[in-house]
Structure 1
Amino acid sequence: MNNWLDIIQQLLFPPTCVLCGSAGQTGRDLCLPCREQLPVNACCCPRCANPLAAADADRLCGRCVARPPAFDQVYAPFLYQEGMRHLITGLKFGSRHAHARLLGQLLAEHVGRHALMPDCIMPVPLHRARYRKRGFNQAIEIARLIASETGTPLDLYSCRRRRATPHQAGLTSKQRQRNIKSAFELIVPVHYRHVAILDDVMTTGSTVQEMALLLKGQGVERVDVWVCARA
Structure 2
Amino acid sequence: MPPPTTLRTITDALLRSLLPPVCQICADCGEHDRELCGACSLTLPWHSDGCARCALPLPEDADDICYRCEEAPPPLDACWASLRYEDPVSGLLLRYKFHSDLAAGRLMAQLMALNPPPWPLAPLVAVPLHPSRLRQRGYDQAAELARLIGAPCWKGLRRIRATAPQSERNAEARRHNLDGAFGVVGEVPQAVVLVDDVMTTGSTLHACAETLREAGCQEVNAWVCARVP
Partner Cα distance (1:208, 1:163) in 2: 15
CA offset at residue 172 of structure 1? 2.0
Q: For 1:173-188, what aligned pairs fall within 5 Å after superposition?
A: 173-188=171-186
What are the superposed Cα offsets for residues 87-139 of structure 1, whole Å, 9 maximum, x if unpaired?
Answer: 1100111101101111111112222x623121x11101111111111111111
Aligned match for 2:124, one of 118, 121, 125: 121
State the 4+ residue runs in structure 1 displaced beyond 6 angstroms. Answer: none
Which structure shows the bigger proportion of residues in helix conformation? 1
Partner Cα distance (1:165, 1:3) in 2: 38
1:153 aligns with 152
The alignment status of 1:92 with 2:92, answered yes or no, reads no
Partner Cα distance (1:4, 1:187) in 2: 36
Q: For 1:3-82, what aligned pairs fall within 5 Å after superposition?
A: 5-56=11-62, 58-82=63-87
Report the CA distance shift for 1:164/1:27 in structure 2 as closer, same or farther (over 3 A): same
Q: For 1:124-203, what aligned pairs fall within 5 Å after superposition?
A: 124-147=127-150, 152-156=151-155, 158-190=156-188, 192-203=189-200
CA offset at residue 52 of structure 1? 2.3
What are the superposed Cα offsets for residues 187-213 of structure 1, whole Å, 9 maximum, x if unpaired?
Answer: 2232x1210111000011111111111
Secondary structure in 1 matching 2:115: helix
RMSD value, Cα: 1.6
Partner Cα distance (1:184, 1:146) in 2: 23
CA offset at residue 3 of structure 1? 6.4
What are the superposed Cα offsets for residues 50-85 of structure 1, whole Å, 9 maximum, x if unpaired?
Answer: 1122232x4311220111011111110111111110
2:3 aligns with none
| Contact 2:52/2:79 (<8 A) preserved | yes
CA offset at residue 159 of structure 1? 1.4
Secondary structure in 2 matching 1:82: coil
CA offset at residue 20 of structure 1? 0.3
Partner Cα distance (1:66, 1:40) in 2: 27
Q: How many residues align structurally? A: 222
Moved more, 44-53 or 78-87: 44-53
Q: TM-score, normalised by structure 2?
A: 0.91
